[in-house]
Amino acid sequence: MNKKLIKIAITVLFSFFAINTWANTPAVLELQKRLSLSSQYSAEFTQIVRSMKGKVVQKGSGKLQIKQPNLFRMDTMKPQENRIISDGKNLWFYDPFVAQVTVNRIEDVINNTPFILLTSNDPNNWKQYDIKQNSDTFVLKPKSKKSTIQQFDIRIDPYGLLKGFSTIEKNGQSNLYMLKNISTNNIKVDQFKFKVPKGVEVDDQRTK
């Protein structure tokens, strides 16, 4: 075997080893297992936003809906209505106040929207984060330096009950989401389809 072929063989072997090492990370496997235990659920949430100094700057509330795989919906009711929907391929952000909806491909925004991982079964999405476990809290940190997120924490028990999640942005601001009134009743797939309301401006980032 010549030197070129040997080099290629070593590269392939190393890549295979690296991929499997990532895939078998205990924290990743444990988090994926826990998330998979609940195929669907809805819950009410309360949100607390704090400044980098820990001061509460905003409180909010709304409803969260999740359906495996890859479907996510968050309706914020207070202090201002907005809606985030993942239909498995696209991420929609609708702001009724300004009558505008922004749509992105999921793969283009995964670094700044880690909550997509709550339902994602796409290995490419999971590979964007380093994950560590501390009891029932999983700490996710984006690998991309371009991400505006510094850290994403998921609190989920061994039985798959999601208790809450939080983000810490690079500017120090934190967002804490606490869940209550969790229901595992069936959720129709139509809940995760976004239909653009009449008169609403569409900012389609998929074409840029």
Domains in the chain (CATH in brackets) are 3-207 (2.50.20.10)
Handedness of CA 20, 24, 25, 30 (dihedral sign): positive
Model pLDDT, residue 62 = 97
| Closest to 32 (Cα-Cα) out of 127, 105, 106 | 127
Buried b (16+ CB within 10 A) or exposed e, 104-134: bebeebbbbbbbbbbbbebeebbebbebebe
Model pLDDT, residue 121 = 85
Model pLDDT for residues 106-160, shown as the tens digit of each residue: 999 998 999 899 999 888 899 999 999 999 999 999 999 989 999 999 999 999 9
Q: What percent of the chain has pLDDT over 90?
A: 80
Angle between helices 3-23 and 26-36 (to 10 degrees): 50
Buried b (16+ CB within 10 A) or exposed e, 84-98: bbbbbebbbbbbeee
Residue 24 scores a pLDDT above 90: no
Model pLDDT for residues 54-76, shown as the tens digit of each residue: 999 999 999 999 999 999 999 99
Residue 101 scores a pLDDT above 90: yes
